[in-house]
Each structure stands twice: as C-alpha cells, then as structure tokens.
Amino acid sequence: MRKAEHQPAGVTGVPANSGIALRLDSVQKQYGSGPATLTALNNVSLALYQGSFTAIMGPSGSGKSTLLHLASGLDKPTRGSVHVGSTDISQLSGDRLTQFRRDHVGFIFQAYNLLPTLSVEQNITLPLILGGKSADNAWLEYLTNAVGIGALLNRRPAELSGGQQQRVAIARALISHPEVVFADEPTGALDSRSARAVLDLLWHLARELNQTIVMVTHDPVVAAASQRVIFLADGQLAGYRDGGTAAEISDFMTGLEA
Amino acid sequence: MKDQSASISTDGRKMIIKSGIRQHLGSFAGIFVSTLAAVILLTGLGVVLESGLRGGYDPVRYSAADVIVGGQQSSALPEDLAVVFPEQAALPQGAADSISALNNVAKVIPDFTIQLSDNGAAVTAHNWASTSITNQNLLSGKMPQQAGDVVVGASDPHAHLGDSLVLSHGGAPATYTVVGTASEPPSSSGSAPERQVFLSDEAAAALTGGDHDAKTLAVFAKDGVSAQTLAANIQTQAPGVDTYTGKDRGTAEFLDAGAGRGTLVAFGSSFGGTALLIALFLVAAALSLSLHQRQRDFALLRTIGSTPGQLRSLILGEVFVVSAAAGVIGVGPGYLLAQILKNVFSSNGLIPPGFAFTFSPWPGISAVVLVVLTVLVVANIVAARFSKVSPIQALTESSTTPAKLGTGRLITGIVLTGAGLLASASPLLLHGTAAIAAPAAAGLLLIVAVGLLGPKIAGAGVSMFGRLLRTSRTPGVVLAHANSTGNARRLAAAVVPLALGIGLGLVQLGTSAIVANEAQVQVQDGITANLLVTNPGFGFSAKAVESIKATSGVTVLNAVAVSGATIESIQFGDPSAEQYALQGIDPLTAPATMDLAVKMGSLADLQNPLTVALSTDVAQDAGAKLGDTVNVRLGDGTPIKAKLVATYGRGLGFGAVTVSNDLVRAHTNTGLDTQVLINVDPSKSDQVAAGLSNAGFVVGDPHTAAAQGAKTRSADSFASSLALFIILGYVGLAVVNTLVVATLERRREFALLRLIGSNVRQIYSMMAIEAVMIAILAAVLGVAVAFPALAGISFAVSGQPWPNLSSGTLVVIGVMSSLAVVAIGFATTLALRASPIAEIGSRE
C-alpha cells in the first residue's frame, strides 16, 4: 500500500492534452472568512484520462462531495482551476456554466433522479429539451438498449423499479455525449443485486463508449467496481489504488481514519 | 387466534397520529388554514346573527318607563319568519283607556315623535306630556298650550324665550312662539344629540300621520309592581299590543333599527351558510391533496397489517387534532372580525349609529363545533377512499394517475348539474318572482356540482390545454405540458376552489347588478313628468303639495308616497306573506306623469276605495286576476281586502304594489308624500323650477329619480359585496396556501432540473405556464358555472338573456385568477432559493 504523501494520486501538471477528460490544478475550497474559515479542500491536483472509471472515497467530512461539486461545475473553487475537456470551467459563471454543464457533464444521484410527470424517454432527453436540441434517434435507441430499458420508453418513473430508474438516469447522463459523468452514491438506494448490475453497467459504459465516469461513494464494495480508487482525507488527497478488492479498500480506509 | 390487528392501543394510536402530523406539517397546513379561516368567519357571522336577533339599542328616552306599549309590529306565520311591518303599527282602539284602567298602573303617557326642519336642519318634536317620560322640567316660561306654542331646550343655540321660530313640517313652514325652555333630555352614548322641541299634545297629534292617535304609550307601574307583571297584565287587558320591558324598550324607541336587524340576520345566516359550504369544499380539496401525498405511508401501514378501519380512524384522529387546534385559535380573531364588521356596517349606514352588538360565547362555541364536525364528516368521506386502497395498489399507484371520483359523487354531481341547468331555464316557462328565485338557486346548485365534479372537469380542461401545448418545443412549455397532463390532480386542487370563488362572486354580484340595473331602466323609461320635486329627509305635507299645485305654470301634479306592503296569499296550500315596495299615487294624474306599462285594467280605478294595482309578477305570485280580491297589509300592518284593478310591468322601478296616495299616507309614520312629479307649461318651466328651489325644495330631471327600493338595494348590495369580499378572501387564502404548499414541495424537482442544466428562467417559464393555465381554467369554469343562472335571472327580470353585469364582476374574475399566478410566482422564488445540490443531496 503506497502512502499519499509520497505518491500523489493521478497526474499533476499535465499540459492540456486530448487524453485528459478532467483536470484539477491546485484546487482549494474555503467556506466562510476570517477565523471561521473552513477549508474543505486544500491544494488538490488530479487528472483523469478519458474513459477512466474512478471512485472517490473518504470518510465523511473528507471533502469528497466538495470535490464532486467543484469538478462538475456546481460550485467554484476559491483557488486553482478545473478543466473539463479543454474548457476551464472555473472561469465560467451563471448561465454559461449552466449551459456548459447541460452539454458536457452528466449527473447521476442516489435518489430522486427522475421527474415523475415525464415519461422515461422525456426524462432521458431532458437535457436536450432544455438546450432546445432534438435527440439523435439512433443514439437514443443505442443508449437505451445498452442500459437495458429500450422497452420502457413510454413508462413513467413510478412504474419502474429502483434499478430501472437508475438505468434511466444513466441514459440521461449520457445522452448529450458528456466529457464526464459524475455519480453521487448511485447505488445508495438500491438492493445489492440491482446495485451490482448498475455498477457493471457503468464499468461497461466506461470501457465500451470510452466514457469518463467519476463516482463518489463511501462503500468499499461499490468503489471496488471502479478501475481506480482515489482516497481523500481532511480535504487532501490521501492516496490511490488500482483494482483493489473491497476488503483491501476497506483496510486502506480504516488506516486513513485511524 | 386473537385478532390483534383489530385495535391499536390508544397510546400507540396517539403516537402514530402525533408523528403523522409532525411528518406532514406542510400538507396539514391546508386543513389548518381552511379550518382556522372558517371558524373566524363563522364566529364573526354568528355574532352578527345574534346581534340582529338580540342586539340593538339601550333605551334612552324610555329608560325611566316600566313598560312601553306599541301596536302589533309583526304578523306571525306558522312555520315561517314573522313579517315585520315597515311603519309603526297603530294601537288598537281604546287601548290607552283600558291600560289606564288597570289597577297596578300609576300613569300612562302617550309619546309622539315628529320630524320638523329649521331651514333644512332636522329638529325632532315631541308632545309636552312626554317630558314626564324623560323627567324633563320646565326651566323658564310656560308649557306649550296653543297650536303655535313651542318649548325649546335650555341650551338651544338658535332660539330663546320669546323668539318666534319658523319650523317646517313636510316642506310647509309654520311660525311658532317660544313660550318656555326645558331641561336637557337623557343623553345617549354614541349617537349625536339631536335638537329637540316640544309642542302641545294637540299640536303634536295633529302633525302625526294616520288617525292622529299616539302609537306609543309609556306605562309606569305602581310601587312594588314589576315591569314583567305589568306587561303581562297589559297583554291580557289590551290584546293586540306589543309590550317592551328592560333592554327591549330600546327596540320600541329606535324602531327604525328594525331594518338594520333584518340586514344583520340575513347577512349572518346566509353568508354563514355559504362560508360553511365553501369550507367544506376547501377542506375536502386540501385533505385529498394531503392524503394523496401520503399514499405510500398508508400502503406501508396496510402492508404491516392495519385494517382500513384503523387507517380511517388514524386519519380522522389527525384531522381532528389539527382542526380542533385551528378552531380554538380562530375564535378570538372571529370576535375581532365581528367588531370590524360592526364598524363597517355602522359607517356605511347599514345599522344606525350606536347600534350595539351582542357578544356572547355562543357564536364562538357553535362555530368551532360546527366547523370541526363538518371537517370530520368531509374527512370521513375523503379518508374512506384512501383507506380502502389495497397495499399493492397504493404502492404502485403513482402520483400521476388522474383523480378518480366515487360513483355516488359522480352521480350527485351530474344530477345537480342537470337540476341547475333546468332551474336556470325556468324563466322560459315560469313567470313572477319565482322566475328570479329559481335561477338564483340554480347558481348555488351548479357551484356545488362543480365542487363535486371539479377534479374531473379540471382534468379534462388540463388535457385540452395539453393538446395545445404539445407541439411546442420550448423547454418551459414541454415541461409544463408534462406536469399538467401528468399531474392533473395538482392543478385541479387549485382550479376548483378558484372556480367556485369566481362562480359565487359572479352570481352574487351579477344578480344584484341585474336587478338594480333593470329597476333604474324602468324608472328612466317610466317617468314622463317634466320635473321631479323632492324634499330630502322631510317629505311633503298636504299643505306643501297644495302650494306646489297652486304655483303658476304647474299643469299636472302627482304626489307619490312610498312605504312597504305585505301581500298575503296561499302558496301551495300554505299561507304565505311577501313584502314589496308600495307606492301611493294620484290615480287621476298618474297617467300623465308616469308610465307604469299597464298590462291590464286602469290606474284611474284606484280612486275607488279598497283597490290595488300589482306588477304582473306579483299578481302572478299571488295568483290574482283582474277583479279578484287581494289581501294586502299596508305599511303599518293594517289589513285590507282590495280589488285588483290593474296590472303593470315596471314594478321593479316603481314598486310592485300601487294604491292611491291617501291610502298609503294614512298608514305611515309621517303621513307625508315622498316626491312630487309635475308637468309644467313649457314657457314657465324655468320660473317654476326657480320658485320651488326658493321654497327649499330640490327640483330635478325626472330621469335622475332613484328607483323604488334603490336605497335598500344598495345597502343590501353593499352588505353582500362585503360578505362576498370576505368569502373570496377566504377562498383566496386557501388557494394560495394550497399552491404555495404544492409548489414548495417541488423543490427537489426544481433542483434536479437545475442540476441537469435548466436555468432559472426555464423553471420560471414552466411555472408561469402552469399558473396561467390554472388561472384560465378557473376563470372559464367559474364563468361557466355562473352564466346559466345569470342568463336566467336576466331573462326573468328584463327579458334579455344576456346579463348586464357590473365591472365588479370582471374584477372578481381578474383578482381570483391572478391569485394563482402570484402565489405560484412567490412560492417558486422561495423554492429556488436553496442551492440545488443541497436540495437534491438532502436524503429523503
């Protein structure tokens, strides 16, 4: 097991390069000011290759949610920069940031991923509708078949199982060919069988569609499904591990918390 | 095996109820607000009702008398409200003498009250004997004995001992000599002191209307005799009189407060009923929305073994706790509302100044009991639907399914709609006042029908809108379309109450506007005289009318006296009594000055004694044909059997009952005419007008004449507008609450939309479309509910099916429907305040 201090996770200082989907450079995030300042993330740099499936783990309060928000453009860093593809999103604001997220970033949440009044198809194409674009039918068909919901397009979310709903959310996250898909505890609300199936699906999508996926989780079993696990502790990178088992990841986490 | 699921322990049930309320505070807010407002309203209206029955004035001038005796002021009908006569009733012949003959009577004093004027300012005259009722003494000079003698108050600013004083009675001036001064009368709190003079008993009697007898007697008991005993003795000794004792003596003293009482009773009871009806629908809507949101909880409870009965009792328990709390809190503000209503009423002349409201605990107690019971009954019905759902069905039934209505509700709604439409069309077949009453009732039937069928109708309307929106690709429109077709129930919860409010408003305002408008049109078309002469507040004595007639240039004169008449007839086998406006005309000159649109017979026949003319509607109601005998009670309640000699069309503008002028005046308090219509020699028109103006009269264009009953109508219409305003405020409050709660509950939906790339503008535009859709549907449905009734009333009243409505109706539509837009806009802004990620991150 390598320790984070000696071997920073990911790649730092890499020049803009077509192989890099997400890059954070010396990102710092502070909340509040003066003596009450809380540093949620301190000097984090990392780069993720296109098509990688990365899990971000850490105990609660370690800054993993903050990292997700900054990387996905939901929040802006106090210092440092965030590149999604070749765009420095830390320079964008307001509607342009919203628009960028809509076109280049996909999201999957733990729960309440779908609008109950929209059909499955409408839910999937919602980012396109919001952007005033029409769906590429071939892509929609391919995608819905790939995630296994091709026959459910006219249903409403309430008529689907939890696992099916999460597959719809995955299809929606992918519909606009995003640079990166961010998943926040995507299996948190599922039973273990459905969770396994969703994780397998993400793994396949990353590999077959060369889709970059970043997943935040606290569950070592879930993290073990990814190619690489990056650990966070106290707002800093604490190490990484490629292809570990759930038990190994759990041991590493225990070490961090100790 | 013992069935343990059949009853949950009381503690367990309490625990579940408490946690249920805590968990769903938002959805209970609707029930809480609706109940609270209903209790406030009903408490306030209850106080108004009770005050109409028991409130009023404390006696002032009569406070020293033991018993006040007056004529029989009302006629009792079996199984109906008593008819109260508009003019003071006469005492039976010889009543004063037989009362004086009673053993325990110390003295009997007649009281006369006459309205005089001094240069246009009001002066009240009493007979000198009445000073011993009020314990006023002669301070200087002597008491009035001759016809021209007057005693004034010691502090009278305008007249002193020895002065001559010109006082007019009914526009005819007379010169009096001030022969003495008297001490001040007992002061009343509240009302401004009036200028008072005393005439001799004979002079006072001569100026009073009717047969110049006193209509009120103040009776003083001998020592040791209670007022109640004396009153009972009087009732036995002189049958046919009304006696007043204690606080009730104020009723006899301020007889003109009677109209105010009627208004209060009508206001309190009719709007109390409407408020309760509206509360019923609002609570049902709020409850059904709230229970729907909790369907999954119920499914869970069913799955783990609770029976539908248990579920229902849980829901009822929750509703009881919430509504009882709201009810108790609402009582205080309810009494405050009554106080506010009292101030508004008296500042608008609906009740005379100084009229006291009765504040007892009963209105509050009955409001809470009535409202909580109503809420529980509604909850029982609504809960039945939710508690019977099978667990699996409840778990899978999504929030997007259209509202399902019970068969009973559906059938009732359809039957009421049919009945409402039929009743609206009844003026096509029926005539008479029933032709107005039926469509007015139809309005209420249709409103209730919409309350019942509303969710279905609103759902249909929403899907119609959906078809219009479907083709659009604008993101806001696409989303709004999906939301409205997918969640018609949510929209219906707002549309139905708003539509009810609009419908109610239109029927209320529209009906009075149609009647008032037609009355005014009839007067404008019906007065053919050249000039209209009035003497506001003081009227015309016979002497004044003679002097106008004698004015050079006046060719025709028709003096008109107005009062109220009661027509007694047999309706459907039961005796019935209806009150109408009564006018007295000069039968010979009337045709030259007014066109009543006579249909049959001739007004000239009114010069024969015991004859009457009726509007065609009233003749129809009374079932009387030309030549038949009609039972009429004149203003003071005197019954006559009169022959019907004419029927006419313009009853709404001129009064539905017409008799000769003399007959009306003989049975009013004042014995005066109200207005004088004259034709003049065209060359002397200006001269006549100038002369009459100099004499202190008001000369005007006859077309500006107010329609008969216009004053009462405008007071009634003010009262009903006020009530309407309050009730619409109530509806508005409940709808705003529903919309705010429903919109705030969509925070997660908004957050999700923002996270996947919609901007705030798109969310606003989605919500704006939904809000406008609610507003339009509510307006359309509201108008659709009111229109049949209004068209029916309009046809019955004016023969035109297209109702002539006031601008107030547009205001009602506009304000009620824009409430939806304002409430949703406000709630959307609130819901968008939190950062989307915080919202979506908050785990359920």
| B22 near A CB under 8 A | no
- How many other CB atoms are found less than 10 A from the CB of residue B101? 12
Q: What is the pLDDT of residue B156?
A: 85
E strand or H helix that includes residue B119: none
Which of A64, A117, A128, A180 would you mutate first to test chain B, the one with the most B CBs within 10 A?
A: A117
What is the tally of structural domains in chain B?
4
- Residue at A236 is within a domain: yes
Residue B191, H or E segment:
none
Please indicate whether, in this complex, the C-beta atoms of B753 and A130 are within 8 angstroms of each other: yes
State the pLDDT at residue A258: 57
- For A119, nearest residue in chain B (alpha carbons): B482
Note the pLDDT of residue B737.
82
Residue B573's pLDDT is: 76
Top pLDDT among B711 and B607 is at B607
* Range in A116-130, B33-47, B460-474, B730-744 with the lowest mean pLDDT: B460-474
**Which band of pLDDT confidence, cut at 50, 70 and 90, is reported for residue B464?**
confident
Residues of chain A with C-beta less than 8 angstroms from the C-beta of B843: 110-111
Structure tokens at A74: 């939901």
Say whether residue B749 is in contact with chain A using an 8 A CB cutoff.
Answer: yes
Query: Does residue B764 lie within any of the structural domains?
Result: yes
B119, part of any domain: yes
Residues B166 and B219 in one domain: yes
When pLDDT is averaged across residues B608-617 and rounded to a whole number, the result is 93
Which residue from A105, A53, A112 is spatially nearest to A75, judged by alpha carbons? A105
The tokens for A226 are 């990814």
Q: What is the pLDDT of residues B408-431, one digit of tens each?
A: 888 888 999 999 998 888 887 776
pLDDT higher than threshold 90 for residue B368: yes
Short-list B56, B59, B91, B64, CA closest to B219? B64
- Using a CB–CB cutoff of 8 Å, tell me whether A159 touches chain B: yes
Number of A to B CB contacts under 8 A, please give it: 88
Which tens digits make up the pLDDT trace of B370-398? Answer: 999 989 988 888 888 777 766 666 555 54
Give the pLDDT score at B290: 79
In a domain, B416, yes or no: no
Residue B660, pLDDT score: 95
Using an 8 Å Cβ cutoff, are A205 and A213 in contact?
A: yes
Residue B606 tokens, joined = 């009114």
CA distance B722 to B728: 10
pLDDT of B262 strictly over 80: no
Pull the structure tokens for residue A38.
């809380």
* pLDDT score of B1 more than 50: no
- Would the CB atoms of A117 and B753 count as touching at under 8 Å? no
Let me know if residue A33 belongs to a domain.
no
Q: Which residue of chain B comes nearest to A106, CA vs CA?
A: B756
Please check whether residue B412 lies inside any domain of the structure.
no
Instruction: Spell out where B16-162 has E strands.
Output: 67-71, 74-75, 83-84, 105-111, 113-118, 121-127, 138-141, 149-153
Q: Distances in Å between the alpha carbon of A198 and those of A146, A149, A157, A225, B327?
A: 12, 12, 17, 10, 52
Contact B513, B804 (CB under 8 A): yes
Model confidence pLDDT, tens digit, residues A204-237: 888 888 899 999 988 888 998 899 999 998 888 9
One domain, residues B551 and B687: yes
Q: Which residue of B has its CA nearest to A161?
A: B396
Q: Do residues B355 and B501 share a domain?
A: no
CB contact under 8 A, B486 and A116: yes
CB contact under 8 A, A117 and B755: no
To the nearest whole number, what is the mean pLDDT of chain A? 84
In the predicted model, what is the mean pLDDT of residues B638-646?
94
Q: What pLDDT shows up at residue B680?
A: 92
Q: What pLDDT is stored for residue B841 in this prediction?
A: 62
pLDDT band at B403 (very low <50, low <70, confident <90, very high): low
Q: What share of chain B in percent tops pLDDT 70?
A: 91
pLDDT of residue B231: 92
pLDDT for residue B628: 94
The closest CB to that of B487, out of A117, A131, A132, belongs to: A117
pLDDT of residue A11: 42
Distance separating alpha carbons of residues B488 and B773, to the nearest angstrom = 11
How would DSSP label each residue in B536-560? TTT-B-HHHHHHHHTSTTEEEEEEE
Same domain? B374 vs B452: no
Is residue A12 situated within a structural domain?
no
Q: Measured between beta carbons, which residues in chain A are less than 8 angstroms from residue B399?
A: 116, 158
Angle B249-B115-B678 from CA coordinates, rounded to 5° = 135
Q: Say which of A111, A116, A172 has its CB closest to residue B756.
A: A172
Q: What is the pLDDT of residue A64?
A: 86
Residue B400 and residue A75: Cβ atoms within 8 Å? no
Other C-beta atoms lying within 10 Å of the C-beta of residue A122: 21
Q: Identify the pLDDT of residue B167.
A: 92
- Per-residue pLDDT band at B462 (split at 50, 70, 90): confident
At residue B79, the pLDDT reads 63
Looking at the domain assignment, is residue A185 inside a domain?
A: yes
The SS3 assignment for A108 reads: strand
Token pair belonging to B391: 């667990």
- Chain-centroid distance of CA B518 in Å reads 20
Angle at which helix A120-130 crosses helix A162-174, to 10 degrees, equals 30
> Does B470 lie in the same domain as B515?
yes
CB of B752 less than 8 A from some CB of A: yes
pLDDT for residue B844 is more than 50: no
pLDDT attached to residue B537: 82
B408 within domain boundaries: no
Same domain for B109 and B220, yes or no, is yes
Residue A9 pLDDT > 80, yes or no?
A: no
Cβ neighbours of B840 in A, within 8 Å: 109, 112
What is the domain extent for residue B558? 528-704
Of B310-314, B645-649, B800-804, the least confident: B800-804
B756:A95 CB<8 A: no
Q: What is the pLDDT of residue B25?
A: 65
> pLDDT per residue over A235-245, tens digit each?
889 888 888 88
- Region of poorest pLDDT, from B227-241, B459-473, B501-515, B679-693: B459-473
- Of B482, B757, B762, which is closest to A117 when you measure between CB atoms? B482
Question: Does residue B828 register a pLDDT over 70?
Answer: yes
Query: Is residue B417 domain-resident?
Result: no
The pLDDT of A107-122, averaged and rounded, is 85
Contact call for B837 and A159, based on CB within 8 A: no
pLDDT above 50 for A4? no
Shortest alpha-carbon distance between residue B796 and chain A (Å): 48
Domain endpoint, select from B201, B233, B255: B255
Binned at pLDDT 50, 70 and 90, residue A63 comes out as confident
Does residue B2 surpass a pLDDT of 70? no
d(CA B170, CA B374): 55
DSSP calls for B476-531:
HHHHHHHHHHHTHHHHHHHHHHHHHHHHHHHHHHHHHHHHHHHHHHHHHHHB--SE
Say yes or no: A104 contacts chain B, CB-CB below 8 A.
no
The answer to the question of residue B726 being in a domain is yes
In the predicted model, what is the mean pLDDT of residues B320-336? 93
Can you tell me the mean pLDDT for B476-485?
81
- pLDDT averaged over chain B? 84
Residue where a domain stops, chosen among B194, B229, B255: B255
Q: Does one domain contain both B118 and B23?
A: no
Q: Specify the range with the lowest mean pLDDT, choosing from A117-121, B350-354, B621-625.
A: B350-354
A195-204, B7-16, B117-126 — which is least confidently predicted? B7-16
Q: Give residue-wise pLDDT tens across range B272-292.
A: 888 888 888 888 878 877 787
Distance from CA of B762 to the nearest CA of A (A): 8
CB-based contact B841 A184, cutoff 8 Å: yes
Minimal CA separation from A115 to chain B, in Å? 6
Of chain B, the end-to-end C-alpha distance in Å amounts to 39
3-state SS assignment for residue B197: strand
Measured in angstroms, the CA of A116 and the nearest CA of chain B are apart by 7
Could A184 and B473 be called an inter-chain contact, meaning their C-beta atoms sit closer than 8 Å?
Answer: no
Q: Which domain holds residue A59?
A: 51-75+95-257
| Chain B residue with the nearest C-alpha to that of A185 | B841
Q: Is B399's pLDDT higher than 70?
A: no
**Averaged pLDDT for residues B222-227:** 90
According to the model, what pLDDT value does residue B796 have? Answer: 84
Stretch B70-80: mean pLDDT, rounded?
78
Give the CA distances from residue B396 to residues A153, A168, B535, B712, B844, in Å, rounded to whole numbers and listed in that order: 18, 18, 78, 60, 19
Judging contacts by C-beta atoms under 8 Å, the chain B residues touching residue A112 are: 748, 752, 840, 844
- A130/B475 Cβ within 8 A: yes
Helix (H, G, I), strand (E, B) or coil at B70: strand
- Closest CB from A118, A131, A157 relative to B757: A131
How many domains does one find in chain A?
1
Confidence of residue B23 (pLDDT cuts 50, 70, 90): low
Q: Tens of pLDDT along B134-155?
A: 888 999 999 999 989 999 988 8
Same structural domain, B305 and B365: yes
Residue B766 has pLDDT above 60, yes or no: yes
Report the candidate in B755, B183, B744, B769 with the shortest Cα–Cα distance to residue A102. B755
- Do B172 and B78 sit in the same domain of this protein? yes
> How far A118 CA lies from chain B's nearest CA (Å)?
6
**Better-predicted residue by pLDDT, B613 or A98:** B613
* Interface predicted TM-score (ipTM) of this complex, two decimals: 0.80
Q: What is the pLDDT of residues B536-551, one digit of tens each?
A: 888 999 999 999 999 8
Q: Are B179 and B141 in contact (CB under 8 A)?
A: yes
All residues of chain B having their beta carbon less than 8 Å from the beta carbon of residue A120 are none
User: Do B249 and B109 fall into the same domain?
Assistant: yes
Q: pLDDT tens-digit profile of B772-781? A: 999 999 999 9
With H, G, I as helix, E, B as strand and everything else as coil, classify residue B618: helix
- The CATH number of residue A229's host domain is 3.40.50.300
Together in a domain, B462 and B374: no
Q: Mean pLDDT lowest for which of A141-150, B176-185, B213-222, B794-803? A: B794-803
Cα–Cα distance measured from residue B736 to residue B738, given in angstroms and rounded to the nearest whole number:
5
CA–CA min distance B839, chain A (Å): 11
Examine residue B404 and state whether it is found in any structural domain, yes or no: no
Q: What are phi and psi of B315, to 5 degrees?
A: -60, -45
CB-nearest to A156 from B400, B836, B843 is B400
DSSP for B396-414? H--TTSPP---HHHHHHHH
Give the integer Cα–Cα distance in Å for A128 and B475.
9
Query: Letter for the amino acid at B686?
Result: D
Chain A residues whose beta carbon lies within 8 Å of the beta carbon of residue B487: 116-117
Residue A53, pLDDT score: 92
Distance from CA of A69 to the nearest CA of B (A): 8
Instruction: Report d(CA A198, CA A164) in Å as an integer.
Output: 9
Across the interface, of B756, B759, B841, the residue whose CB is closest to A95 is B759
Helix then strand then coil, in percent of chain A rounded to 5, is: 40, 25, 35
Q: Is the pLDDT of residue B822 over 50?
A: yes
